[in-house]
Amino acid sequence: MAIENTEKPSKWAYVTFLAGNGDYVKGVVGLAKGLRKVNSDYPLVAAVLNDVPEEHRRILRSQGCIVREIDPILPPDNPIQYAVPYFWINYSKLRIWNFVEYSKMIYLDADIQVYDNIDHLFNTPKGYIYAAMDCFCDKTWSHTPQYNVGYCQQCPEKAMWPTEMGSPPPLHFNAGMFVFEPCHTTYTSLLETLRVTPPTSFAEQDFLNMFFKNKYKPIQQIYNLVLCLLWYHPEKVELEEVKVVHYCAAGSKPWSYTGLEANMDRKDVKMLVEKWWDVFNNETLDFKAEDSVPLATQWLMPSVQEHEKLNFRTEDSATRVFSMPSSVVSLVSEHAITEAQLLRERKRVEIDTTPD
């Protein structure tokens, strides 16, 4: 399927999400510098919660980011065991669907780095959400039927889905990177649906897969290489072709990397961590006053580069929400949000359907 150019480039932007006063701010700085290194034509919007300190916001602005504060979105009261303790805060990412001054955006987690220009993804046909498929082989999926029967959508032929369990699970995308269209109607529907949807282990990722089950179009893994593919599906990875690396495996965050966790002593992982630091430490990639930053009120953009073709998959993209064991949600210092803060926020903030 050929990519179509049907939107005004001046209304396109990248967007990321930041909470708390932890080291994830380094990830956003690295991402801003990475986008400059690959000569992206579009700005990076940082959607930040109100607990992000002013000093971190100043750092982001100094790197050319457009900083936009958003209110947190708290999941309905239904304590469950998240795959990673701080996942609950990621529901706040739903606010980016209300950034309607942009017609199309590419969302990137703060633990992602872009190593090749992906501006052409803005030209994907309208009406869908585009993202790379996730891998079910990691132990964070141990609560799912897929993990328990050894089935993974990356290589479904290796372990066939048992016929007695019905149809195979629908395709499931990793929500660390996706192409989407901000829209008031979609935003309102997201919040209304979330209000009546019990939280699940992968938080907003499960929710987005459920919500967009009929609108999901898979794209190539080169646009979101989750590191676990290196050891679970090495035959699927050609590192020289990878454009986007997602440092989501335990112990792989470059700013806290020690090499002591499982698989972190691999040569390819070490190389990718060093590659991230090469970008982060490159002072020539720091934002300069003479650089052009397209602000929300300034729509002066260069044209996009030559269009590419994407390999879209046509399988049924409906997905399921998995039931999870009950447990009290533990919070982590990584986002510097205490349980007391969570309780205060729960009293202060309700999931509403009014624009920010």
Q: Dihedral sign, CA of 50, 52, 56, 61?
A: negative
Q: What angle do CA 30, 32, 36 make, to 5 degrees?
A: 110
70 pLDDT band, cuts 50/70/90, is very high
* Structure confidence at residue 45 (pLDDT): 99
* Structure confidence at residue 156 (pLDDT): 67
pLDDT at 344 over 90: no
Domain ranges of the chain: 11-132+172-294+306-327
Does the annotation count 215 as an active-site position?
Answer: no
Model confidence over 186-224: pLDDT tens digits?
Answer: 999 999 999 988 877 768 998 999 999 999 999 999 999
What percentage of the chain exceeds 90 in pLDDT? 58
- Among 88-92, 244-248, 328-332, the range scoring the smallest mean pLDDT is 328-332
* Structure confidence at residue 72 (pLDDT): 93
Q: What angle do CA 70, 72, 75 make, to 5 degrees?
A: 145
Contacts of 104 (CB under 8 A, 6+ apart): 7, 11, 12, 122, 126, 179, 180, 181, 182
Which of the following is catalytic: 37, 93, 217, 253?
Answer: 93
Q: Dihedral sign, CA of 304, 28, 73, 297?
A: negative
DSSP 116: S
Top pLDDT among 76 and 34 is at: 34
- Among 2-16, 31-45, 205-219, the range scoring the smallest mean pLDDT is 2-16
Residue (of 90, 17, 86, 28) closest to 58 by Cα position: 28
pLDDT at 121 over 70: yes
Q: What mean pLDDT do residues 324-333 have? A: 29
- Among 140-144, 178-182, 281-285, the range scoring the smallest mean pLDDT is 140-144
Other CB atoms within 10 Å distance of the CB of residue 208? 24
DSSP 154: T
* CATH class of the domain comprising 11-132+172-294+306-327: alpha beta
- Among 88-97, 150-159, 160-169, the range scoring the smallest mean pLDDT is 150-159
| pTM attached to this predicted model | 0.78
